[in-house]
Chain A
């Protein structure tokens, strides 16, 4: 029978099926960080249960870490304690930790792919909803709660009901200046923030086939913003080339057999999906959000639509925007380029190319936060750091930073921040802050002008 990519990977991991209930799914890699793991370790201790497969767990410190002076002790007491707790838990349980200062430290969804921990055909979980990122490699990857973190610690398995499958195809070629972030923002604006609830989503079509791994990660990362637990893209030559030679990638004979297996994973031609959507690349422009969920976005040159729903009006009130207004031209004081969505080297190259020889607007605070130490080093190696400095941008140290403002990187009340992150929820970047989601290119342009720019005009 024909199978989808998702079904192939899922079925390869089913340990057992409970009659009239969920299935036991085996988890290959478990990624953990300081915020959603401490209570899980505590629960294990309370019940006197050992960690079952510590070698399959990888830990990093990313959510609450500072992005300046990382060589100094963390100032915030609660953050420091949480980080110390992670170190202690990892040490006690023989878990590999890339702690603050380690050469491989960084955002969990940036470091696992760049170290070759993420591979096609795997099941990967993490106590973080953006775990969907790893689906870019053709793996089943999804966010879990802390109770489930405990379950994976205890048994390397989860009890799950198999999600339904959907496919989103985007055919054609993207226009100049339209980035992967625009593609996913466009999809969510068209389909809504809960179209994917209960589903795993496969992205297919020429647009994704021609996309880099970094771009695919950006797209899969935001699957959760349309409600889908995970997103997936069939592994292909681009995937294999990215994984090959990475620190934890299979080597020699093992590489050959892995490759052989990975090549069998793409969905069969006549595989059936529970639902399917098709879009045309020609219809996608650089996007920008105007509201308080990632589905509320428009083409950057468009005007805010007129809707009468209470939740829509509540959103606009929070943002202090009016229906019918153009987004282009709106003044902004903050720009944040980073997060597990857009903090990979390719994102910084886009920014550097645009800002080279330009100066940021005086009123703008522009933060660039690399996803990992490796990305940070690469930025320096490629000479991008100098470009950013000349343009007046502040290159900070890696971490989740202002995406969720758990550390000191907060946007002040009532201020607008054009952000390359994934969520524009009320107060997400700091109490009372207002987030405008966009691609690294649109964000860079906003930093230069001090207002939102209809980049399409510059591109044409």
Chain B
């Protein structure tokens, strides 16, 4: 996993609530057996017409907006557990998603891929959504170390929560597998104890 470094970037405002994982990456694109290339089909049915032409009114197709932060409406990532959604967002170039609410599985998947979910208050979200929609050149600063998100040349700043363990993983680029493997003895001990107890199995 890539290390997460402080972002200082423009952002793309996706002012839609309840963005589900079927919209992020429709099921028909889940047939690949590798992790690469999903960015092409990110938000496929909002981004493109059926004939492949760009939907001119969709925000990702608006040349005024760019950057590696996506600002999204409430309840982002609901629906399926497909990690392809996180892969698609990362592959497209996003490093952080800002919303006032994230669905559980998506949040976990994002964190496992170095994509930072930044949960802010509904008021803060509303303010920055409007600001960035109106001034696309606005720079957003996401600092994981201090757990803050701020807007350049303004007093707009908010802190966000993240599990201490996950924060360490993100900053250092660690993933859970190595950690779990280092606990093998404990896991085997647990299995043996249970065997003795005759619970389940």
A interface with B by C-beta (< 8 Å):
12, 15-16, 18, 20-22, 24, 26, 28, 35-36, 38-39, 42-43, 47, 49, 63-64, 76, 78-79, 81-82, 85, 119, 121-122, 127-129, 131, 143-148, 150-151, 154-159, 161, 163, 193-194, 197-198, 224, 227, 229, 254, 257-258, 261, 293, 309-311, 314, 404-406, 413, 423, 425-428, 431-432
Interface size class of B (residues with CB under 8 A): 35 or more
CA A426 – CA B18 in complex, angstroms? 11
Given contacts A197-B104, A405-B27, A157 and B180 within 8 Å (CB-CB): yes
- A198 in contact with B104 (CB, 8 Å): yes
- B200 in contact with A122 (CB, 8 Å): yes
- Determine whether B17 belongs to the interface, using a CB cutoff of 8 Å to chain A: yes
- Binary flags per residue of B99-111, CB closer than 8 Å to A gives 1, else 0: 0011111001100
Query: Could you count the A-B residue pairs with CB atoms below 8 Å apart for me: how many are there?
Result: 191
Given contacts A24-B187, A194-B75, A198-B104, A147 and B31 within 8 Å (CB-CB): no
Q: How far is the CB of B151 from chain A (nearest CB, A)?
A: 23
- B22 in contact with A425 (CB, 8 Å): yes
CA A229 – CA B79 in complex, angstroms? 11
CA A154 – CA B178 in complex, angstroms? 9
Residues in B neighbouring A311, C-beta threshold 8 A: 16-18, 73
Residues in B neighbouring A79, C-beta threshold 8 A: 31
- A129 in contact with B31 (CB, 8 Å): no
Known A-B contacts: A35-B30, A122-B200, A310-B17. Give 9 more (CB < 8 A). A26-B194, A39-B33, A39-B83, A157-B180, A158-B176, A163-B104, A258-B200, A311-B18, A404-B22
Q: Give me the 10 closest cross-chain CB pairs, A-B, nearest first.
A: A21-B165, A147-B112, A145-B109, A145-B83, A78-B31, A143-B81, A38-B33, A155-B180, A311-B17, A146-B83
- Determine whether B80 belongs to the interface, using a CB cutoff of 8 Å to chain A: yes
Residues in A neighbouring B23, C-beta threshold 8 A: 425-427
- Find B22's partner among A154, A197, A224, A423 (CB 8 Å cutoff): A423
Chain B minimum-CB-distance residue to A293? B18
Residues in A neighbouring B191, C-beta threshold 8 A: 26, 156
- Determine whether B32 belongs to the interface, using a CB cutoff of 8 Å to chain A: yes
B interface with A by C-beta (< 8 Å):
15-18, 20, 22-23, 26-28, 30-35, 45, 50, 73, 75, 78-84, 86, 101-105, 108-109, 112-113, 163-166, 175-177, 179-181, 183-184, 186-187, 190-191, 194, 198-201
- B183 in contact with A24 (CB, 8 Å): yes
- A150 in contact with B177 (CB, 8 Å): yes
- A82 in contact with B31 (CB, 8 Å): yes
- B163 in contact with A143 (CB, 8 Å): no
Q: How far is the CB of B104 from chain A (nearest CB, A)?
A: 5
- A428 in contact with B83 (CB, 8 Å): no
- B105 in contact with A159 (CB, 8 Å): no
- B105 in contact with A143 (CB, 8 Å): yes
- A39 in contact with B22 (CB, 8 Å): no
Q: How far is the CB of B189 from chain A (nearest CB, A)?
A: 8
- A229 in contact with B105 (CB, 8 Å): yes
Residues in B neighbouring A26, C-beta threshold 8 A: 187, 190-191, 194
- B28 in contact with A406 (CB, 8 Å): yes
- A36 in contact with B81 (CB, 8 Å): yes
Chain B minimum-CB-distance residue to A22? B165
